Structure 1
Amino acid sequence: MSAVSIATPVGVSSEVPMRTAVTQMTIGAMLLSSTSLFVVYAGTAPTVSGFYRMLFGGVMLLAWAAMRGAWRAVAWRDLWMALLPAICFATDLIQWHRSILWIGPGMATLLGNFQVFLMALVGLVFYRERPGRWFVPGMLLAIIGLWLLVGAHWSVFDAQHRLGVWLALGSALAYTVYLLSFRHALKTHAQLSPALFLGLMSLLCALLLWLWGLGEGDSFALHGLRSWSALLALGFLGQMLAWLLMVRAMPRLPASLVGLLLLLQPALAFVLDVILLGRPTSPGDWLGLVLALAGILFGALRPRART
């Protein structure tokens, strides 16, 4: 999962030109849309694919931080601060990767993006952040879209498909707590660069997923070029490159444009699911997709911050 909550930055530097920022943001969102497909192509247990995503991505992020001169010795306090985000992200991946295999990459990614509503509600309740004027209409649109995609067919779904829907929504909840804990750690513990901290958190998350997989009896041995290439791509594209591109681009773009570009992730994931994996769809499904995406966009928008 890799949706990002949108906030309008104030006092942004002009290091990255607008056109370059749009290109970076677009490429980052497109790369994220492919991550759920790699989970399917890897052909491994869901916890195993999550483990290798975090292991490969974490090692690559640490190498990137070292090459950029951002390396510093990691203290026990750094590990402690990264532990809660690692637990939350591991919980997210355990649920999301199962939902990908059970309900398809497109639907799992779309449902995971419902975290924008949870983030807004947390901001309202705990941080007194005023939601945008389109938040309530956006939530209603998303609920209608969700009903067209899921609720209208609920009676024909088997037990595993229904559980996959709930796991995708559960992953949105876990991802919300991850975002909040990750942001809090960076704000209160700025000794590490974001790339170094994310790399450290990724390796901790990989350790937790390895322990969970052992408890499930999963084998972590990889066989064949397809599994290796899919999981290496998952770590490089989804856990490293997409994140680096988007973090560099987001401060240069208006919140509304960021929200629009981020919708490429669930939209492309759904379309690729239809084209590459043969997901059956009806006109009602496409209408539900459009309404859900519109609702997510409206729900993600925030009032412009006052200087």
Structure 2
Amino acid sequence: MVVSGAACLSASAVFVKLADIDAGTAAFLRCAVALVPLVPMLLHETRRRGPLPRHLWGYATVAGLFLGADYVMWTISVLDVGAAIATVLINVQVIVFPVLVRAFSGTRIPRRFLYASPLMLLGIALAAGVLQPGQQASHPVRGAVLGVAAGAAYAVYLCLSRLSGRHSPEHLTSPVCVSTAAAAGTAALIGTLTTGLPLDVPARAWGWITALALLGQVAAWLLINRASPRLAPGTSAALLLLQPVLAIGFGVLALGEKPSMTQLCGCALVLVTVRIANRAPGRAGRA
């Protein structure tokens, strides 16, 4: 489920570029259009399983606030530094997410994960093109900063969603719908104050926006939120690192982007170090 969700998320950067609309508008419409199928699904789930516990509404709302901020910052980063590199930058979550889970729930972080963290950061930096700051990037510094900030906000969303799923595993659609609604409001507010929120979207862009909403929002988060509470946080974060690899492939095929060998090596370094950090130490650990 997490791998499938990562595949849906990795295509989002390509959809944003192909839609060719303002960053704030893309972030807002991604969530607003997703509510069209999510609201009926929430009503159906409420009839079958009862309402989402009241305290979890707060979890989902705060998670959505961070997700909305993540979307605006990440979308600007996509337009600044390219789809593939922006998706690599956001994967700073691989370090922030386990740290947050440790702080809020006491889940231990494996020592080998801590040792591998500097190499993960180095890999992210290489993949982001730090050694080639001007390559295929209109605003490389702003794009890099916003990409990393989006990754931190993304990690907060993952952490709160995981806590919600562990408290009430029978509710799946409800927290996703509440978070999506909060993210839509946050994206609209931030977009209005920063990039603006023009809603006169060309007709040709609506197909890409719909794909972004259905795959990059509805399908991705239903899959990830169902599976994440059942996995160790480091495992979830590691599987979500498939996003940059797939995003680079999508960027090359659909957008003609040409990542350098250094950037590809950075992606490989991230994946290898995360694999080592999350490897079971022995037979008992594997069991």
Shorter-chain TM range is 0.7 to 0.9
Measured in 1, the distance between the counterparts of 2:228 and 2:62 equals 25
Give the counterpart of 1:231 among 205, 209, 213: 209
Q: CA deviation at 1:43?
A: 1.2
Q: CA deviation at 1:183?
A: 3.7
- Give the number of equivalent residue pairs: 282
- Counterpart residue number, 1:222: 201
Q: CA deviation at 1:264?
A: 2.6
Q: Does the CA-based 8 Å contact 1:30-1:265 persist in structure 2?
A: yes
- Superposition pairs of residues 113-262 of structure 1, within 5 angstroms: 113-125=91-103, 127-149=105-127, 150-154=129-133, 160-185=139-164, 190=168, 193-216=171-194, 217-225=196-204, 227-248=205-226, 261-262=239-240
Give the counterpart of 2:254 among 261, 269, 276: 276
Q: CA deviation at 1:281?
A: 2.8
Query: CA distance change for structure 1 residues 48 and 152 in 2, over 3 Å: closer, same or farther?
Result: same
| Post-superposition CA distance 1:195-252 (Å, at most 9, x none) | 1121022112212222333334321122213x11111111111111122334445677
- Counterpart residue number, 2:23: 46
Measured in 2, the distance between the counterparts of 1:202 and 1:49 equals 14
Q: Does the CA-based 8 Å contact 1:71-1:196 persist in structure 2?
A: no
Query: CA distance change for structure 1 residues 255 and 91 in 2, over 3 Å: closer, same or farther?
Result: closer
- Counterpart residue number, 2:69: 91
Aligned residue type for 1:99: S
Q: CA deviation at 1:184?
A: 4.1
Measured in 2, the distance between the counterparts of 1:232 and 1:214 equals 21
Q: CA deviation at 1:67?
A: 4.1
Measured in 2, the distance between the counterparts of 1:144 and 1:297 equals 15
Q: TM-score, normalised by structure 1?
A: 0.77
- Counterpart residue number, 2:9: 32
Aligned residue type for 1:43: D
Measured in 2, the distance between the counterparts of 1:255 and 1:73 equals 27
Greater CA deviation, 254-263 or 79-88?
Answer: 254-263
Q: CA RMSD in A?
A: 3.5
Aligned residue type for 1:172: G
Measured in 1, the distance between the counterparts of 2:235 and 2:105 equals 24
Q: Percent of aligned pairs with the same residue?
A: 26
Measured in 2, the distance between the counterparts of 1:251 and 1:205 equals 21
| Post-superposition CA distance 1:252-305 (Å, at most 9, x none) | 789887666533322110122123222233322221110022234445678999
Query: CA distance change for structure 1 residues 283 and 208 in 2, over 3 Å: closer, same or farther?
Result: closer
